[in-house]
Structure 1
Amino acid sequence: MIRTTGLTKRYGRVTAVDGVDLRVPAGARFGLLGPNGSGKTTLVRMLLGLVHPTSGSVELLGHAMPRHAATVLPRVGALVENPAAWPHLSGRTNLRLLDAAGRGGRRRDRRARVEVALARVGLGGVDRRPVRAYSLGMRQRLGIAAALLRGPELLLLDEPTNGLDPRGIGEMRDLLVALNEGGTTVVLSSHLLTEVEALCTRVGVMDAGRLVLTEDLDALRVPTGRVLLRTPDPAAVVGLLDGQVVERSGNVLVVREDDPAALNTRLVSAGIDVTELAPQRRTLEQVVLGLTGSGSDRVDGRAR
């Protein structure tokens, strides 16, 4: 579905993307992660042919980009950075114009596609107010509706939940999962780790323009060698395990143990009630922070 080889983009002395070899199979829910300035958006723009690489190659849906953009892009839905729109027109009119430019066909069919797209993103009841009067969340929903107009095989979304409230984020997550289950490959570029962790099955991590990791999410979240334990008798656990308890907060303890089943057997044999016992796993946040450098929005120190 997506294949890049040695993909590089330089702006003068600045290397925004550095030798990226990316593979995204058909049917994936892929999350592209990294701090601000890590090269995620530049990479997405090169995939779509909006930015030409300095070196390397891009294949999208089996075709070289941007050479075959006219063939490929009608099968791709995309939202990159801020949603684009004619601000003096309504959202519905914006989508009709976009659909007419991309597909042509009968006006009746165009209206039906627009209504379906608006309904899917929660704008089915939108009125005739111009887009310039929309909230940030409504603009974001409209941008995603535009990406869905053509029934894409591949969705490339850059920060798609930007401006959405918690309910909207949940609705968008459910929509993307449903689209994926219907056969659409979803690629999500974001710095919001919790959203990627909740949605994606495979992730790539970028740092300083390089793709430093590509892996299935389940494989990344390996056990830490610690067990989370909840018990009505924490003092008995501390007395029994003698040094294995590394954290305690009320009736919840963290125990150093590689074999949760053996720990449970030992506690039950000692007559200690256990209400919860589960291995601790690395979070996606821990993985990303361990792989990425100091990229951030911070500006420390006194200005001179």
Structure 2
Amino acid sequence: MISTSGLTKRYGKIEAVSQVDLDVREGDIYGFLGANGSGKTTTVRMLLGLVLATSGEIQVLGQDMPGASSRVLAEVGALVEGPAAYGHLSGRKNLRLSDAAGPARPRHSRAERIERVLAEVGLDEVDERPVRAYSLGMRQRLGIAAALLGRPRLLVLDEPTNGLDPQGIREMRELLQSLNAAGVTIFLSSHLLAEVEQLCTRIGVLDRGRLILQAPLAELRRPTGNTVLITPDPEAALALLNGRVRHRDGQRLVVRGADPAEVNARLVSAGVAVSELVAERRALEDVVLEASSASADRMSAR
């Protein structure tokens, strides 16, 4: 769906994006991670033909960009740097303007398209109040509704949860998961590790303009070979598993051994209550910090 090779953007002597090779596949929810100022938005704008690359190649939906932008963007929905809207108009009126300004679509079905996308983003019950009276979460949903007017195959979003409260973030996550389940590939730029960890299937990490990590999330969060145990009787568990407990934090114990069933059977047979037992997986935060540290070491060695 998105492929880049050696994608680079320079502003004078400043290299904002350097030799980035993206690989976004159909069906992905791809999390494009990086701190503010790492080059994420510049990369997104190059993908959409809004900024010209200094060098490198871009393909979106199998076609070269920006040369094929008129064909490609008809099948791409995008929300970059926050939703744009006329605050004095209602959501429906804003969507009428967005639809009229977009790629040519039949006017006779405009009202049907607008009601469809409002329903998809959960704004179908909204009244005719002006957008300036919307919450931030509602405005974000309206921006995504505008991006969905053309039934895109690919949705490109730049920080869609920025500024949202926890409830708004959860609602946005559920919306994006439902769109992906309906067949939309999602490319999501974010600096929120926890949100990407809950939502995305594959990630790429940008650090000072360089792509330092790109892989399926399940692969990055592979089991460590340990078991996480939560028990109301940690002292009994410690005694029973003597020598195998790597770490204890209150009722939470990290036990050497990749088979939770074996640990559970041993505890239960000894009468030790178990509240939770799961295979330990690497935290995405640890993976990203490790990759960032390795990248910094490589840069300093040059």
Fraction of identical pairs, as percent: 63
Aligned to 1:288: 288
Aligned to 1:118: 118
Does the aligned pair in 1 maintain the 2:48–2:73 contact within 8 Å?
yes
Structure 1 counterpart SS, 2:225: strand
- Write the deviation string for residues 113-139 of structure 1: whole angstroms up to 9, x where unpaired: 112212222222333343334332222
Aligned to 2:98: 98
Q: Which residue type is aligned with residue 154 of structure 2?
A: L
Q: Determine if the alignment matches structure 1 residue 2 to structure 2 residue 2.
A: yes
Q: Which residue type is aligned with residue 40 of structure 2?
A: K
Structure 1 counterpart SS, 2:277: strand
Does the aligned pair in 1 maintain the 2:32–2:40 contact within 8 Å?
yes
Structure 2 counterpart SS, 1:292: helix
Structure 2 counterpart SS, 1:77: strand
- Considering only aligned residues, what root-mean-square deviation do their CA atoms show, in Å? 2.3
Moved more, 192-201 or 50-59: 192-201
Does the aligned pair in 2 maintain the 1:140–1:162 contact within 8 Å?
no
TM-score by length of 2: 0.88
Aligned to 1:179: 179
Matches within 5 A, 1:237-256: 237-256=237-256
Moved more, 12-21 or 45-54: 12-21
How far off is 1:163 after superposition? 3.5
Question: Runs ≥4 in structure 1, deviation > 6 angstroms?
Answer: none
How far off is 1:62 after superposition? 1.1
Aligned to 2:300: none
Aligned to 2:79: 79
- Write the deviation string for residues 220-241 of structure 1: whole angstroms up to 9, x where unpaired: 1122333212334322322233
Separation in structure 2 between the aligned mates of residue 89 and residue 260 of structure 1, nearest angstrom: 57
In structure 2, relative to structure 1, the CA distance for the partners of 1:6 and 1:275 (3 Å cut) is same
Does the aligned pair in 2 maintain the 1:34–1:288 contact within 8 Å?
no
- Write the deviation string for residues 257-284 of structure 1: whole angstroms up to 9, x where unpaired: 3444444454456554544322211111
Q: Determine if the alignment matches structure 1 residue 192 to structure 2 residue 192.
A: yes
In structure 2, relative to structure 1, the CA distance for the partners of 1:270 and 1:209 (3 Å cut) is same
Q: Structure 1: where are the runs of 5+ without partners?
A: 295-304
Matches within 5 A, 1:63-74: 63-74=63-74
In structure 2, relative to structure 1, the CA distance for the partners of 1:250 and 1:27 (3 Å cut) is closer
Moved more, 78-87 or 166-175: 166-175
In structure 2, relative to structure 1, the CA distance for the partners of 1:81 and 1:105 (3 Å cut) is closer
Moved more, 143-152 or 84-93: 84-93
Separation in structure 1 between the aligned mates of residue 25 and residue 51 of structure 2, nearest angstrom: 23
TM-score by length of 1: 0.88
Aligned to 2:257: 257
Separation in structure 2 between the aligned mates of residue 182 and residue 268 of structure 1, nearest angstrom: 43
Moved more, 73-82 or 85-94: 85-94
Separation in structure 2 between the aligned mates of residue 12 and residue 234 of structure 1, nearest angstrom: 60
Does the aligned pair in 2 maintain the 1:34–1:292 contact within 8 Å?
no
Separation in structure 2 between the aligned mates of residue 90 and residue 265 of structure 1, nearest angstrom: 60
- How many residue pairs end up in the alignment? 294
Separation in structure 1 between the aligned mates of residue 61 and residue 151 of structure 2, nearest angstrom: 15
Separation in structure 2 between the aligned mates of residue 230 and residue 102 of structure 1, nearest angstrom: 54
Does the aligned pair in 2 maintain the 1:140–1:164 contact within 8 Å?
no
Separation in structure 1 between the aligned mates of residue 260 and residue 162 of structure 2, nearest angstrom: 40
